Structure 1
Amino acid sequence: MHETSVYVRFCETDAFGHTNNTSYFYYFEESRMKFFHEVMQLEDATEVGMVVARLTCDYIHQTYANDTLIARTSVEKLGTKSLTLRQEVLRNTDREIVATGQCTLVCFDNKTQSSIAIPDIVRERLQAHLIQPQT
């Protein structure tokens, strides 16, 4: 899985001092964007558009301001026009998973405003990060 370090800022917490539930979607997004930038290494980011079709988060443990977390991203499923990413957030101190999520993205052509097949070069790079189904 591709990993990104995340620092929980005070403004990302709620009235009870916990990391706010919405903050995890930002952590997922940061991890997702870095995954595509570092792993895909496309010459031109506009070659392939990906739009989020679905995003979920399951909260497992609490985190707090000043915690350092690790956000991880990998490819769970690769279809013809879409893919599903598995995303996790872990505490850096003990590597315990604190939240999990899935993000379904659709390959999209901005000119035609329609979904398109994932280009072969992109598919090859994504397949290298495809995780095996968990049993």
Structure 2
Amino acid sequence: MFSQTFSPRFTDTDALGHINNTNVPIWFEGARDPVFKLFIPDLDPKKWNLILAKIDVTFHAQMHYGSEMEIKTYIGRIGSTSFNIYQELWQKEVKCASGTAVMVHFCYETQKPQQIPQQLITEMEPHLFNLNSA
């Protein structure tokens, strides 16, 4: 698991005083950097070999300004050419949102998915989501 803690900004709130739901997918994307670095260690866009195929977000509880938030990032599933990144957003020890991003290991020259090398699978395996810890 990878973890990132941050404080939401006042501008992240909406008219109801909650954290605006549109922020969560953006925060999740930023917290995926440690996974991206497994594939592209220097995050050089010219070497990029991943594409986003799908995202989903489920909201479990309200989020508010003034309290730190933590994003927990896991590998949810590893396939031959794609994998899932599973993420949770916590505030005050409450899971407020969760989501999954489906990533494809992709060759931009051929415009086709490519096999995930075993070395990368081995690096991702320690970060697999453990259903027993959920």
* TM-score in terms of structure 1 length: 0.85
1:13-92 to 2 correspondence within 5 Å? 13-37=13-37, 40=38, 42-45=40-43, 47=47, 49-91=49-91
Q: Is the 8 A contact 2:39 2:49 kept in 1?
A: no
Give the root-mean-square deviation of aligned CA atoms: 2.1
Q: Which runs of 5+ in 1 are unaligned?
A: none
Q: Which runs of 5+ in 2 are unaligned?
A: none
Q: Is the 8 A contact 1:90 1:97 kept in 2?
A: yes
Question: Identical aligned pairs, as a percentage?
Answer: 25
**In 2, distance between residues paired with 1:45 and 1:14?**
32
Return the offset for 1:13: 1.4
Return the offset for 1:48: 5.4
Return the offset for 1:34: 3.3
Q: How many residues align?
A: 131
- Decide which of 104, 110, 114 is 2:108's aligned counterpart: 110
**In 2, distance between residues paired with 1:70 and 1:129?**
17
Q: 1:4 to 1:44 in 2, by over 3 A?
A: closer
Q: Is the 8 A contact 2:2 2:74 kept in 1?
A: yes
Give per-residue Cα distances to partners, 1:45-76, cap 9 Å, x unaligned. Answer: 45551111111111111112232100011011
